[in-house]
Chain A
Amino acid sequence: MHYARPFLKFILLMKVAFLFVLVTCMQVSAHVYSQQKFSLDLKQTEVSSILTQIQKESDYRFFYNYASIKKLGRVNLQVKDASVDEILAAIIDNKLPYKIADDHVVVFYDSDNISAQLSIRGKVVDKSGVTLIGVSVKLQGSNVGATTNANGEFIIKAPDNGVLEISYIGYEKQIVQIAGRTTFTVTMVETNANLNEVVVVGYGTTKKIDVTGSIASVKGADIQNLPVSSVAQALDGRASGVNIVRNDGSPGSPPSIRIRGTGTINDSNPLVVIDGVPSSNPDALGDVNPNDIASVEILKDASSSAIYGTRAANGVVLVTTKRGTYSQKLSTSINAYTGISNTPKYIDLLTAPDLYTLKRERYTNDGIAIDPESPWVDPYYATQRTDWQKAILGTGKVNNIDVNIQGGNEASTYYFSTSYYDEKGIIDKAYFKRFSTRINSEHKLKPWIKVGENIQLTYGESNSFDNNNSQTGLLFSALRFNPSIPTVNEDGTYGTSKAFSQLGDINNPYSTIQQTDAFSRKYRAIANVFAEIPIYKDLKFRANYGFDGAIGRGYNFNIQDLNQVRQNPNSTLTQSETELYSHLLDLVFTYDKTIKKSHITFTGGYSKQNFRGSSFSAARLGYDDTSKDQLVLDKGNLLLAASGGYNDPTALESVFGRGFYDYDGRYLATVTFRADGSSRFAPDNRWGYFPAFSLGWRISNESFMKDVKWIDNLKLTGGWGELGNQNVTPFQYVNVISVGNGYGTNGYTFGGAGVNGAAVVKTANPGITWERAAMTNISLEAGFLANKLNTTVTYFDKNTNKMLVPAVQVGTAGRIPSPDQNIANMNNHGVEVEINYSGGDELKYTFGANASFINNKVTKLYGENSFIGSVVYGRSSQEISRTYEGQSIASFYGWKTAGLYQVQAEIDSDPYLSSDIRKSSIKPGDVRFVDINGDGLIDGKDRTYLGNPNPKATVGFQTTLAYKNFDLSANFTGVFGVSLYNADRMQGLDPTSNFNMYAEALDRWTGPGTSNTIPKMSLDQANLNYRTSDLFVESGNYVSLKNLTIGYTFPASLVKKTTLSNLRLYVSGQNVFMITNYSGYTPELGYTNGNRQRGVDVAQYPSVRSFTFGLTVKL
């Protein structure tokens, strides 16, 4: 036999050589593969290991029954430049039949029971008869498998009563009974994306058709390469019932996520779970490279989120990152894009000459001499020198590059990625950078245990400016700073408003930026390891340990500045560090069983998670040398502050279970229960019990629907459940005495030295417990036109009960904030509609539209006419937002107006002023406020509801078009039925202020009939024309093209020559345009005081418009 081998080898070589010549003539690229030679020197090695090694180094793929190969035992192999054929001949030694197909697939036939098995040949085609290559064919209940070759053919050994599973991505899995046949053709049917999709649910996955709750699913592919720092921004408009609220356009600034409205006045962000690790939200999303994401699932209703009972009241966002798959060839993908951004809008402001004229006009109108202590007697201030908006709003940049490598063999899978995202804001020195690395892998250690891990390491660095403060905000300052002042004086100092109080007590925003020397850094690791053990048949056990840890570092050097109005008397350096970490343990059992027509899945387990944190910071002041390389704490002359402490620790402990039952694909039911203990509440009130259920009826699977051809899918689901919220300050059940030696920490000074002081700073509520949200959900899902058209309509009604609100604290209790009490109720109800259509042949297209109509109302507070206030605006502490019982959260509250008084007679005879002491001070050109309570005078009691900042409707529309190598995708978002309060305009029109004004002031009242909305120029504040009123309430409706991307994929034939497998180039625009009547920078205003204030324009950092160019390369 030993002699026979060279001979066989010779023949094989001849065959290969012939093939070689043939192939070379036909296709040049095959050259490379056919040439593959191997040099191996192995002793006593398993045959399977040798095959694995060849597979690693080549394009060959081996299919075999492990047991058969194992019987070959260990062999010695010493070859030099041998082909696969030679090697196989040597190691198999005719003990096992095999076949080498011309696509380098090698199939070994099972040696066991070879007589009882048939050699099945088959061909796999799609509906139109086109052969499908690489389709996986598997003998059910075994590891025997095969894939189809270039002709769509496969050969597999199987018993004559065997069952074959034939699966291919994008097609429905086919089950074929062999039933004695030896050849057949299998026709694959394309999957309907919506129905056979698998969605991630808490502690598991399920098929979308089986879902009885409301889950929105966004595929990673739809949100790749968008020039946004956080995946949260990318979700905007893509799912019904999910409102992404942009609070600040600064780079890296996290948006708020509102699922089905604002569920509570407290933290109402959803729970974010990244690969099974619940994280503090929503900033955790900003640490994930969006291109690592495989899918984002949003659990909206009680039934689907109840498995996360404790923290699910505001919905759950499940992020699943990409993983390799078993037996997947290594693939590498590189993404890179670069782009620029700018502000889509500037506000029209007065130029210096106009401002000078209008400021002087105030004195003329009031009949008084121009104040000598004012710039309005000095023509210097009538010359335009600086457009402050243009001085600070420039061009931003965004760059991203990431690489990912994925693949797997029979035993392991891997996914590795690394990325760098760099965004420079349109305001200089506002930036966000992120480096992230991810390693996800999984290993089948033994048939009975599978282990794996997900590791995400992120480094982030950023700086941003305060744009919320209505006295010092940066953009606010730019909008108010006098335009006759230069950015930089001739002597090199920064322009300043110090000369006169009438130039306003604001600092030169350009100097603020230039003098900024600050950053914050974040190092974060989110990781989990898991083990999965199939205990017995259908029962599986999974243990998951998760860790989420972040270290934050802050650095801020404030240089001495006596030149500006708001002086910084001493240079100060502050450095700080925070540490937050959390441990998680989940133990979960899953039982999955199909008995005849019933399918049962039970998931149950135990979970605990704890959170710890600490911080410290130090500051020194007095820096004699302010050169950059000397700015360390050691160099400060005097210790200003050194502080540190521990965050209040918190922990959760839970037991949960979920049962799913499906009968015949027609009747579905899910029952969930979770018991949660939270350390945030007093010992006697810690545990909360949260039940939920939902039922589904797939009407389209009923026999009576068989003849209804125009409906392909019809499913009615409904459910109810209760969820909890514990996102409130911990330890509110104890009171707190604070001891400190500073101004803000009760300290004082005796004998010229600082001393400690102590005071009660928090009173206790020993009865504090869970907020509970009861939610009802009814949904109808229908598919038409062979499921190309899918629609869903959902109604939901969510009642938040026992909502924690600060107890009414009367002023006689002093200035201590009152502890929260379980007092209030809130309701959100609404309708969600989704329509998706996909079709086309050569021109492939998809359309998706969604709309959410939500109504929010605080149904119970402290009693009739009770409210919760919010942050006040500007120098005069103006109230704008109040949350009243019976109204939507954070509604606007102020005076109604009825135009301007045009002539004196109107004032004299106005019943609104009949007993108003200020009547003699009110002049034509002043605002006529409405005397709501009819007492003949205008005061605080005449204030009323002015508008609702919570949108009535949010809509999204996505489309993708693909034609030949071109692709296009667009995402539109829209918001309707929303009021905004333009506080910045309110102040920008106020002539009694010391600031620059909006250009609109040119249209002021100058005599009867000249204006009915913009009062006359005056210094007199008796009428408070610029108090909070409906004059500054505007509609915030808009439609925006959030993203438009056009891509071109190079033809495969062209790309192959470069040894790449895929190359796509694209251009993308973010915030391309917006249609709105809103007069400020952007109607996307967001929150300015938790959930208590929304939609108030305080000159936030505007949304930026960006254009990027990018490419994706697959090696």
Chain B
Amino acid sequence: MKSKLTYTLLLVAICASSCKKNLELDQKGIYTTDNYFRNETDAVNVISGIYNLLEQEDYISHAETTFDVASDDYWRSGDHSEDEAIENLTYDASNAQVNFSWTYKYETVNRATNAIINIPKIPVISEAVKNRSMGEAYFFRAFGYWRLMLIYGDVPIITDDDYAKSNFNKAKSPIEEVRKQIEADLLKAIDNLPQSYTAADRGRVSKGTALGLLTKLYMYWEKLPQAITTGEQLISNSNYALATTYQQNFTRENASSTEVLFSVQGLQNIVQNDYTIYYIPRAWGGYGFSQPLQGLANEFEANDPRKAATLLSVGDQINIGDDANIDTFTADLSSTGFAFRKYAVFYPFGSAEGNGVDHNYAVPLMRSADIYLLVAEAKIRTQGAGAGDALINQVRRRASAALPPVANAGMAQLIHERRVELAGEGERHQDLMRWDKVNLVNIASIYNLAISKAPVDQGKTVTFIRPKHYYYPIPQVEIDKSGGVLVQNPNY
């Protein structure tokens, strides 16, 4: 009996001692911050990971476009009641889009900061890739704050040190500080980024992208002379020349366009071209969001081909690629009578790549033409009417030789030109507010014109309250979570 007990105890002892490492387990196939950032590939990947956010449905293609819904260019359509609140300026701090927007932009900022901190520590990396990657990271951090600044005004700044220490619950910085932060990052991006890329790297941000964004920043900052300086650096650089035709920017040909400074790259079967899906009519396989308004259609001059490139009006014909026939745009396809042609990009019938919506299309987010017109505006506003004629006429001539050149153009012509050139590209509402702030337009009255509203909204009064509506509210949920650190924007 004793021996039985001894054997049993021995067995237990063996089992227990062999199990010393029972709890020391290793994950397989997982990277952590401790085993990453080893080489050039890791650096490039981390940068691609920032670009990835541009594709996210609730970021650029949906949330960001809704922030132009309030404008007089288009009606929200669709069935998102939160978009209706944005359209009619009745939104509050709990609006879903306001929530999405906040976190996606900080995700952009943080991914960029992570790259900025860790890429310099990588031991083996070529100087060119390192510079480019750092430039891209600085650009994206600036881009994140840029959109935050436009939408919310004062926002918290998360420094490298904050990021490293996970110190995220921070108070808002004044808009002036935010702008300085953006400026500083963009200057570094301009230093680090290359002028242009080979075909394999198409889609990366360049020196021109950073110059363009810096020009826009100065315009919103009312630093007009600086805007002219940076804008002219871009305009004078042939790498960023206007495309031959306006339409080219909104077809697959834009892949080789010098004008597209910044874009969202799509890929068939991997990344959907959300813009086309969102903007084309239901019957064509889209969602029929963002239907252009009568006022926008009226804005185009009679012989401006940009109208047909921008809008689908009743009777217009288009090849939507699902059969050999050309489809006709009919009244029952839209509640306003229009759809955006600009983002309706289809494979031609019989294409080997696919049929229907072309998901390989890259959607432009910033074009040189925008910068041309901003510099023209800065010149008019600093040097008087006519100072921007040359640039405005460059844009008009590119659109059509048949368009009469402007002479001694003032702000009215500039405003007209920006509207028709950039319709549906997310600029209009911000432009109008920017001009309203310096008394160049009366946004409140513009938004209440009948042609600024969809038929269904004709009975409604849209009340633009200054300064409340210049910025959207900080998401209520963020105010709640911050425990008093974040303060809501005035009037919300």
On A, residues with C-beta under 8 Å from B are 366-369, 371-374, 448, 498-501, 505, 533, 535-536, 539, 541, 543, 562, 565, 567, 569-570, 585, 587, 606, 608, 610, 621, 638, 640, 645-646, 648-651, 653, 677-679, 683, 686, 731, 734-739, 741-743, 746-760, 763, 808-816, 862-863, 865-866, 869, 872, 875-877, 917-918, 920-921, 939-941, 992-994, 1019-1022, 1024
Contacts and interface: CB of A to CB of B under 8 A. Distances in A.
A501 B48 contact: no
A748 B202 contact: no
B315 interface: no
Contact of B459 (A368, A567, A651): A368
Given A677-B22, A749-B203, A373 B333 contact: yes
Contacts of A742: 270
Interface string B132-164: 000000000000000000000000101000000
Contacts of A570: 269
Given A734-B32, A811-B106, A536 B94 contact: no
A372 B32 CA distance: 56
Interface stretch (B7-15, B174-182, B242-250, B380-388): B7-15
A372 B314 CA distance: 13
Contacts of A536: 1-2, 4-5
Contact of B16 (A498, A606, A809, A1019): A606
B49 interface: yes
A374 B333 CA distance: 9
A372 B483 CA distance: 50
Given A645-B29, A993-B79, A585 B15 contact: yes
B322 to A, nearest CB: 7
Contacts of A755: 44-45, 48
* Interface SS of A by simple majority: loop
Given A606-B16, A735-B33, A749-B271, A757 B52 contact: yes
Interface string B450-492: 0000011011110101000000000111101111001000000
Contacts of A1020: 460
Contact of B460 (A569, A645, A758, A921): A921
Contacts of A683: 24
A679 B282 contact: no
Contact of A749 (B2, B49, B168, B265): B265
Interface string B256-297: 000000000111011110000000011101011000000000
Contacts of B476: 940-941
Interface stretch (B107-115, B228-236, B368-376, B405-413): B107-115
Interface of B: 1-2, 4-5, 8, 11-12, 15-16, 19, 22-34, 36, 42, 44-52, 54-56, 77-82, 84-85, 88-90, 92-94, 96, 99, 102-104, 106-111, 114, 156, 158, 166, 168-170, 198-204, 255, 265-267, 269-272, 281-283, 285, 287-288, 322, 331-335, 354, 356-357, 360, 455-456, 458-461, 463, 465, 475-478, 480-483, 486
A686 B24 CA distance: 10
Contacts of B25: 610, 648-651, 679
A757 B283 CA distance: 35
Nearest to A992: B81
A638 B267 CA distance: 14
Given A562-B322, A940-B476, A863 B200 contact: no
A48 B4 CA distance: 29
Contacts of B114: 759-760
Given A372-B332, A734-B32, A940-B93, A752 B360 contact: yes
Contacts of A585: 15
Nearest 7 CB-CB pairs, A to B?
A814-B107, A940-B94, A757-B48, A759-B49, A757-B49, A758-B45, A749-B265
Contacts of B16: 606
Given A373-B331, A754-B270, A756-B45, A645 B28 contact: yes
**Residue from B48, B93, B478 having most chain A Cβ neighbours under 10 A:** B48
Nearest to B478: A811
A741 B270 CA distance: 9
Contacts, number: 290
Contacts of A763: 166
13 contacts: A500-B282, A501-B78, A536-B1, A608-B22, A610-B25, A651-B25, A748-B52, A748-B203, A749-B270, A757-B50, A758-B49, A816-B110, A1021-B85
A577 B16 CA distance: 34
Given A373-B332, A562-B356, A815-B103, A994 B203 contact: no
Given A373-B333, A749-B271, A750-B265, A813 B22 contact: no
Contacts of B103: 811, 814-815
A937 to B, nearest CB: 9
A946 to B, nearest CB: 16
B98 to A, nearest CB: 11
Contact of A743 (B55, B158, B199, B463): B55
B478 A810 contact: yes
A921 B90 CA distance: 10
Contacts of A751: 198-203
**Residue from B8, B42, B52, B267 having most chain A Cβ neighbours under 10 A:** B52
Contact of B202 (A736, A752, A862): A752
B111 A814 contact: yes
Contacts of B331: 372-373
Contact of B461 (A368, A646, A920): A920
Contacts of B460: 921, 1020, 1022
**Residue from A501, A608, A809 having most chain B Cβ neighbours under 10 A:** A501
A374 B331 CA distance: 10
A366 B459 contact: yes
B75 to A, nearest CB: 12
B110 A498 contact: no
Contact of A759 (B22, B28, B46, B322): B46
A1000 to B, nearest CB: 21
B27 to A, nearest CB: 5
A651 B26 CA distance: 11
Nearest to B41: A756
A498 to B, nearest CB: 6
A812 B106 contact: yes
B455 A368 contact: yes
A708 B476 CA distance: 67
B19 A750 contact: no
Given A756-B45, A939-B93, A606 B12 contact: yes
A567 B355 CA distance: 13
Contact of B266 (A368, A539, A749): A749
Nearest to A448: B4
B81 A1024 contact: yes
Nearest to B204: A750
Contact of A371 (B11, B322, B335): B335
A499 B332 CA distance: 9
A876 B91 CA distance: 13
Contacts of A863: 483
A539 B9 CA distance: 13
Nearest to A449: B4
Nearest to B56: A743
A808 B480 CA distance: 10
A750 B265 CA distance: 7
Contacts of A816: 107, 110
A621 B283 CA distance: 24
B420 to A, nearest CB: 25
A811 B48 contact: no
B94 A939 contact: yes
Contacts of B265: 748-750, 752
Nearest to B287: A505
Contacts of A869: 477
B96 A877 contact: yes
Given A562-B285, A653-B19, A752-B202, A759 B52 contact: yes
A917 B463 contact: yes
Contacts of A651: 22-23, 25
A993 to B, nearest CB: 6
